Structure formats: structure tokens, C-alpha cells
Amino acid sequence: MARSEPNKHKLSDLYIKGLQPKPHAFLVWDTFQRGLAVQVQPTGRKSWKVIYRHHGRPRWYHIADVAAIGLADARKLASRTMFEVAQGNDPQAERKAARSSGTFEELAARYARYAEGKNKSWQHTDKLVRRNLLPKWAKLRAADITRGDVKAMMAKIDAPVTANQVLASASAIFSWAIREEIAGIKLNPCVGVERNEMKSRERVLSDSEIPRFWAAFDSAGLISSMALKMILLAGQRPGEVAHMRTEHIEDGWWTLPGAPVPALDWPGTKNAESHRVWLPAAAQTLLADLDSTGLVFVGPCGKAAGGLDRAMRTICTKLGVERATPHDLRRTHGTMITRLGFGRDAMNRVQNHKEGGIASVYDRHQYAEENRRVMEAVASKIMSLIEGGTDNVIAFGRGKNA
């Protein structure tokens, strides 16, 4: 197919006024000023463009709508642009860089690079920012974001806890920018915005709820079901259970490194202290049932299982019970420890709560046998409730709907 010749004409105001739209956009090149063209859209909109090549690739530089500036001014601006091109510059790329400079997206990216080496939970913050702030704020100048923008953002997030976390994340970004004198930011628009009132959660599953939840876990799918069961049986933090790896399990003991291990996508423990916990027989049966290597609970795209909060919300709706979260399963486990008479110290050791300076690496081994007894006793109690709460004994691993 023959290549069509460019539509060229010595432009005049009268000629441009008479250009009529076509079913598709088209260009008319000016024979007087090199690089200048008028583009006509099917809607009838007309705009000035400078089209040039940089490193062999065509670049389109938008000047303005024809209604905004006349032909004489368009030719002057096109002449300046082509002069920049002749000097080896790329005006379109420079304009794009200038537009992104000072945007919230750029600020958030800079903060993420800073926080990665300073803040252990930076990945969680980055995820909140990408999901809740960037869709609306990415192209806004960070310095122009107002308290009203922040309030509007808070109002659109249904979960009060999540809204508070997003507010805290945004506030941290702006506070850092002010300290570092970045992007001309003088005020933190998050200051003065009220957080959602939150009640301290004390939710634990009752004895009658435990077998109902255990059976309902299977409706969440195999991986989510197994992860939720492991949280209940092992009593560890949901995020740590989701990232459980077989490399960290030996002879029934699960060692949780305190520091992140990026090569293994291990996030580290919340308090940055290494932890060693016994996996009771019921938990080991779960692991054998999965027969995993590396990451135990593999979610979509090979990443750690996610969506556990969402799965719990669905399960609570299905059961018609008060809302419970994955962390409430951990709280149920901790409550069971004290309920069985092992005491708060045992609960703190098993659940890796940071203690006031008396715990040491020697304590972890000194209490190893006691911790093993605690974990087995709690798991045994949980499984007895599950088996006694149904007509048939439920296996530790897959349920019939898994």
C-alpha cells in the first residue's frame, strides 16, 4: 500500500478557520514554519502541534488549542521548540518531567525509597498509598493537596481501621517532606483531620464458635483455609503466618527471623526480634497435607497468601456472627493459653510479645520444653472443641469443601 503524502499548506487564519472535521483526526502541516502542524479532531477541535524526531523517534509537542493562540504566536513557539531540538534537547520529555516534578506520586516514590531503609513496615504503608491515594492524588501537586482532599479520601474508605492507616501513611509522607524541605511543602494537610474512633478489640472466638469457624474456613479455598487454621493453631501474627517458609521449619520448630530476608520475601517479625515456636501435631498435619517447599501458603502470582481479612469478613457474614479478624484468631489462641493456666508470661513467650528487658536468647531455649507443652495443650483443646462440636471428626487438614 502506497504511503500517503503529508497534507501541507501555507497556513493562514482564514484557511484554518475553514478546516472541517473528518471521521478521523488529521494533520495539516505548515509550509512556512518547519515542524508546525494543526491537528483537527473528529469533534472539530483544532490544536497546534510541533512534531520532530529525537534519536530517530517521532515526538509530538502540544502547543495549545487554536482557539487559545493565533497562527503568528504558534509559529513563534514552534520556532523556539525546533531551536531546542536543533541543540539536541527533547522538549516533550522535558515537559513531561516538569509536570511530574512535585506531584504526590513523585513524593510518595521518594518517601518509599527513604522508608525502605528506615521503617520496617514501609511495604504495608506503600501498599496503602498505592491502593488508596495514588488513584486520585498521583498527578496532583503535593503542595496543593488540601485538608478537604484528605477528608474526601477518608470518606471514601469503608473500613474505619484502613482509613486511619491511610491517614497515618499520608501524614508520615507530608511530615517527612516538610522536614526535608521537599516540593515546597510547608503544611501537612493531614493535621487536624479527625481519625475514626476505634474501640479496643477484645474479640475472641467462643468454644461454640471455634468448630463453626473451622468448618467455614474451607469455603475460603484451600490456601486461605489452611492459613487461617494455622493462625488459630500456632497463635502467630497473620502476616508472619502468611509468609511462613519451609526453610525456617526444622524438627517441628518454626524459627521466625527478626530481620527481613528479601531473598525469601520474609518480612521479619513485627518487633524485629527472632522467635522460635513449636508447631503442635495438628499444625504439622496441616503442613504435611500441603506438602509445600519454600513458601507454605502460596497465593496468586506465587506471592504470600493475601485476602485473609476479606475471607474472614465473608465467613462472619455466612455464619451470621460478630465480625472477627485473622488477628482475633491469634487472640483466641493467646486467651486459651492463660485459660489453661499457663499464665501471661507463657503467652508472651509463645506469641513473641516484646518483654521489658529480661528476655534473652537463653530464655527461648530454657523454656523450649514448656513452650512445647503449652502449644500442644492449646492445640489439643482447640481440636477437642472441633471434634466435639460436630457429628463427625474433622481432619486437621483439608475439610470436605477444601
pLDDT at 122 over 90: no
All cell numbers assigned to 81: 521548540
In the prediction, which pLDDT does 201 show? 66
Side chain identity at 333, as an amino acid letter?
A: H
Equal CATH topology for 8-98 and 209-388? no
Please check the confidence at residue 397 and state whether its pLDDT lies above 50.
Answer: no
SS3 156: coil
Model confidence over 158-204: pLDDT tens digits? 878 889 999 999 999 999 999 888 867 889 999 999 988 766 668 89
The answer, yes or no, to whether residue 309 has pLDDT greater than 50, is yes
pLDDT of residue 395: 38
Report whether 298 contacts 305 (CB < 8 A): yes
Residues of the chain above pLDDT 90, percent: 66
- Given a cut of 90, whether residue 356 has pLDDT beyond it is no
> Is 216 within 8 Å of 319 (Cβ atoms)?
yes
Does residue 307 come out as left (phi exceeding 0), alpha (psi in the -120 to 50 range) or beta?
A: left
**Buried b / exposed e along 43-57 (16+ C-beta atoms within 10 A):** eeebbbbbbbeeeee
pLDDT tens, position by position, 331-354: 999 999 999 999 888 999 999 986
Instruction: Band the pLDDT of 99: cuts 50, 70, 90.
Output: low
Beta carbons of 176 and 111 less than 8 angstroms apart = yes
What are the beta bridge partners of residue 266? 261
The domain spans of the chain are 8-98, 104-180, 209-388
pLDDT at 355: 55
**Residue 36 to residue 13: CA distance in whole angstroms:** 14
What does the alpha-carbon distance between residue 305 and residue 296 come to, in Å, rounded to a whole number?
Answer: 9
Q: Are 348 and 246 in contact (CB under 8 A)?
A: no
Residue 235, CB-side half-sphere exposure with 13 Å CA sphere: 32
Longest Cα pair distance anywhere in the chain, in angstroms? 94
Q: Give the other-Cβ count within 10 Å of 280's Cβ.
A: 23
Task: Give the count of alpha carbons within 13 A of 120, CB side only.
Answer: 12
Q: Render pLDDT for 53-71 as a digit per residue (tens, 0 to 9).
A: 998 899 999 999 999 999 9
Q: Determine the pLDDT at residue 125.
A: 84
Report the top-level CATH class of 209-388.
mainly alpha
**pLDDT at residue 2, rounded to an integer:** 45
pLDDT, position 200: 60
Between 306 and 98, the more confident residue is 306
**Top-level class of domain 8-98:** alpha beta
pLDDT value of residue 97: 63
